[in-house]
Amino acid sequence: MPGGSPKGVRSTDQVVCFGGQLLGLDAGFLAFIKTLLLMAQNLGSVGPASLLKKGTSWLDQKVVFVTPRKELAEAAMMVWKITYKLRQAQGARRLSSFTLSALAGLRRQTVADVMMGEVWPDTRTLLRLCAVLDLEITVVNKNEEI
């Protein structure tokens, strides 16, 4: 990266490659999980929302992540897309955060932190939230809109 300037990834961008690897049906999800594990180890206190471009919010419909590490921006974008869908489903079902956390067997603060991008969520937490909201995590074509 010339000059060390941060690269941005926008929610409207197509991500064809993740961490130098072309995305296939399984490769994309595995790369996502691998990156989440790396983020948890290396950036335990820095959630994906901290990578947002100044002046944008985790709750916006379109976001931009800026970081010198493109794979980190891509992972943040994946987490944003998942939590965006989770928030939509939660609103459609008119579930409070308290009710959602109780049904998922999670602490209310954990659910709040995941939904606001304050933490890198683990797979177990995401799957519990998806189960309550009748959603599943799948890998789709990058051209598909959220």
27 pLDDT exceeds 60?
Answer: no
Domain boundaries, the chain: 2-132
22 pLDDT exceeds 60?
Answer: no
Distances (CA, A) of 35 to 27, 40, 43, 65: 12, 8, 11, 15
Name the pLDDT band for 25 (thresholds 50, 70, 90): very low
Tens-digit pLDDT profile for residues 43-84: 555 788 988 888 888 988 899 888 887 888 888 888 898 899
CA distance 91 to 124: 22
In DSSP notation, 4-72 reads: GPPEEEETTS---EETTEE--HHHHHHHHHHHHHHHHHH-TT--GGGGBPTT--TTSSS-EEEES-HHH
